Amino acid sequence: MPPEDLFSQANQPIDPGKPPEPVSDLPQEITDSSKLTAAYAPYRTYMEQQGKSLNTIKAFLGDIRLLRKYFAERNENPALGDITTEELNAFLHWLCHERKSEKTGKLIGCKPKSYARRVTSIKSFFGWLFETGILTSNPATAVVQRSARAPLPRILTDTETERLQSTARDMLWSPRKPDARPYLLVTILLQTAMKKNEIMNLALSDIDLSNPREPVVMVRYSDPRYAHKERKLFLRPDFSPVYKQYLRKYKPKERLFECSPRNLEYVLSDLAEAAGLPRNHVSFEILRWTSAVRAYRFGTPPETLRQKLGLSPISWRETFDKIKKLASPGM
């Protein structure tokens, strides 16, 4: 089944006036006091009897397991009959705005198509339990069809940015143990808005100081598919002396930062702590967005900013909308 057919099948609206489809028999031991996990197998059997595709079955079961995960994160394991409409709406809000990756700790968000399918999954699952008589009411009937737009990204305020730069500058000129790396890293991120992987791939040959008043950094990609992301970015004159000081201490041979991405993440979080900011308020992503918003506020034309960020026209539409909102007064 093509992906679009799968999606259209998985996201058909539920018609309350339509006669219910036949449901599979439930094992006698499942009651309204049973837990979510007890219903996985019989619900799968029901979907198989309805002729659902394997992909749809996996997707729907995966969505119900996410509901179980939502409760588990709150140290809850409610009975089927105790799950309310309010809790299902809170679950959908969690999917869009609170769910985080177990590996990175970053917000995952929920794309509109995935959100729509998950609403359908919930309605199907609880509708099935209601039609079997296992539940006396259907908590999914009034589930709110909320927007699945991801929240606006976090950026640093001007005060926070100045505090971060000042702290990095103090480390740069420390009489006891001078370190140019924090200031160099923050300078590049705030002046170029490069992505983490682009920073990690920077070669020494990508940096040109032939004109000290206008240093240049080239963003390159080895994969031809990303050739459109390659670009030439300009740095301010104060970059050159910091760069030279960094080279003297760290002596990189090929790459600008010959360490792991994790090491640089620690550099940023340690710098944030030293500046009196929460450790999770300074990251590659936050500094990239901060740089983009500052450039827009300073009058950089939208098309120039799009090219600076290395975004396609399609990706730029949503990004530019967020930048404008973040740059508006009061944000």
Q: Do 127 and 173 reside in the same domain of the chain?
A: no
Does some domain include residue 177?
Answer: yes
Does some domain include residue 142?
Answer: no
Number of domains in the chain: 2
Q: Which secondary-structure segment (H or E) carries 90?
A: helix 85-97
Q: Do 288 and 244 reside in the same domain of the chain?
A: yes
Final residue in a domain of this structure, among 131, 166, 195 = 131
Q: Do 92 and 224 reside in the same domain of the chain?
A: no
Final residue in a domain of this structure, among 92, 113, 131 = 131
Does some domain include residue 163?
Answer: yes
Q: What is the mean pLDDT of the chain?
A: 87
Predicted local confidence at residue 2, as pLDDT: 40
Does some domain include residue 273?
Answer: yes
Predicted local confidence at residue 85, as pLDDT: 92
Question: DSSP code of 181?
Answer: H
Does some domain include residue 145?
Answer: no
Predicted local confidence at residue 205, as pLDDT: 97
Taking only Cα atoms into account, the Rg of the chain, rounded to an integer number of angstroms, comes to 26
Q: Do 78 and 197 reside in the same domain of the chain?
A: no
| CA-closest candidate to residue 129, choices 203, 65, 33 | 33
- Residue 254 belongs to domain with CATH number: 1.10.443.10
Query: What is the residue range of 209's domain?
Result: 158-327
Using CA atoms, how far apart are residues 68 and 74, in angstroms rounded to an integer? 10
Q: Do 114 and 219 reside in the same domain of the chain?
A: no
Predicted local confidence at residue 150, as pLDDT: 60
Q: How far is CA 24 from CA 47, 55, 130, 192, in A?
A: 9, 20, 12, 59
Q: Do 98 and 13 reside in the same domain of the chain?
A: yes
Predicted local confidence at residue 149, as pLDDT: 57
Q: Do 320 and 175 reside in the same domain of the chain?
A: yes
Does some domain include residue 143?
Answer: no
Predicted local confidence at residue 101, as pLDDT: 85
Q: Do 12 and 81 reside in the same domain of the chain?
A: yes
Q: Do 291 and 197 reside in the same domain of the chain?
A: yes
Phi, then psi, of 207 in degrees rounded to 5: -110, 125
Using CA atoms, how far apart are residues 186 and 271, in angstroms rounded to an integer? 10
Does some domain include residue 58?
Answer: yes
Sequential DSSP letters for 123-137: HHHHHHHHHTTSSSS
Here the tokens at position 287 are: 């500094």
Does some domain include residue 149?
Answer: no
Final residue in a domain of this structure, among 73, 96, 131 = 131
Q: Do 173 and 307 reside in the same domain of the chain?
A: yes
Q: Do 36 and 106 reside in the same domain of the chain?
A: yes
- Name the stretches of the chain with pLDDT < 50: 1-27, 148
Here the tokens at position 103 are: 């590996």
Q: Do 168 and 124 reside in the same domain of the chain?
A: no
Describe the chain by its helix, strand, coil percentages, rounded to 5. Answer: 55, 5, 40
